[in-house]
Amino acid sequence: MKNSLKNLGIFIILFFIFLYKDIFYLIPLKVLNINFDTLSYNMQIFLSICSSLILVIIFIIIYYKYLKEKFIEYKKNISNFLDLGLKYYLVGLFGMFIFNILIMLFSPVKEANNEVLVQEMLKKAPILSFISASILAPFLEEMLFRKSFGDIFKNKKIMVIASGLFFGFLHVIFSIKTPWDLLYIIPYGMLGGGFAYTLYKKDNIFIPITFHFLHNSILIILSILLTVIS
């Protein structure tokens, strides 16, 4: 009970820092009397990356022992871990694909608003967007949605479902325009559930981090290439 409350407290603190990490650059800007809206788009993304880096450091400090132990384990068993991770990543990806198709066929919403925002960001600042979405986001999101959130649950099967749905919810709620957009919780949740299941099977956060990184990187590289071609 004591550990459960401790894990819940850690998650709540990290969750709110994750949501409001922009405060790491907004306070210095306020002190320097600089209006964030007057900065260039590249500078705005750069400041966002700096905030994410501070949060990365916070996660590393809190989970240093766990991360060190699991990274050593990951290196020793990388072949088996990659095989396992690939299998459940593909299951999650397949579920995401199927539900995306169903939503596009049977609802008026044809694309998740979160994806639209990412595409706009890529067009304006491709390199900085790649750093943010492909390198920093996989680490932060897996540490928050899988490790920190997952530690709350004693029943790890419930953790897989809850983590997936929470992952989907957070990818939709801040870009929602109509109730139909809530449907995209399911496809995002399928992918998040696939990542969570790898943690359930092997208790090594570097497996979902790896495939989250690969997933985001492939999509962003393809988007950049399509933008260049068009």
Burial 136-158 (b: 16+ CB within 10 A, else e): bebbbbbbbbbbbbbbbbeeeee
Judge residue 209's burial from the number of C-beta atoms within 10 Å of its C-beta, 0-12 exposed, 13-18 middle, 19 or more buried: buried
First to last CA, the chain: 57
Residue type, 5: L
For the chain, counts of helices (H) and of strands (E): 12, 0
Global pTM reads: 0.93
Instruction: Output DSSP code: residue 111.
Output: S
Pair 175, 181: CB distance under 8 Å = yes
User: Do the domain assignments include residue 160?
Assistant: yes
Backbone angles phi, psi at 210, to 5 degrees: -60, -50
Whether 229 has a pLDDT exceeding 80, the answer reads no
User: Do the domain assignments include residue 172?
Assistant: yes
- CA angle, 137 as apex, 136 and 140 as ends, to 5°? 85
User: Do the domain assignments include residue 210?
Assistant: yes
Q: What's the domain range around 192?
A: 63-229
What are the tokens at 122? 């890529």
User: Do the domain assignments include residue 7?
Assistant: no
Mean pLDDT value across residues 154-181: 91
Give one DSSP letter per residue of 192-226, joined into a string: HHHHHHHHHHH--THHHHHHHHHHHHHHHHHHHHH
User: Do the domain assignments include residue 39?
Assistant: no
User: Do the domain assignments include residue 42?
Assistant: no
Q: pLDDT digit string (tens) for 88-132?
A: 999 999 999 999 999 999 898 878 878 877 788 888 888 998 999
User: Do the domain assignments include residue 16?
Assistant: no
**178 conformational bin, left if phi > 0, alpha if psi -120 to 50, beta if neither:** beta
2 — pLDDT class (breaks 50, 70, 90): low
Distance of CA 206 to the CA centre of its chain: 13
User: Do the domain assignments include residue 120?
Assistant: yes
Pair 190, 99: CB distance under 8 Å = yes
Tally of domains within the chain: 1
Percent of the chain whose pLDDT exceeds 70: 97
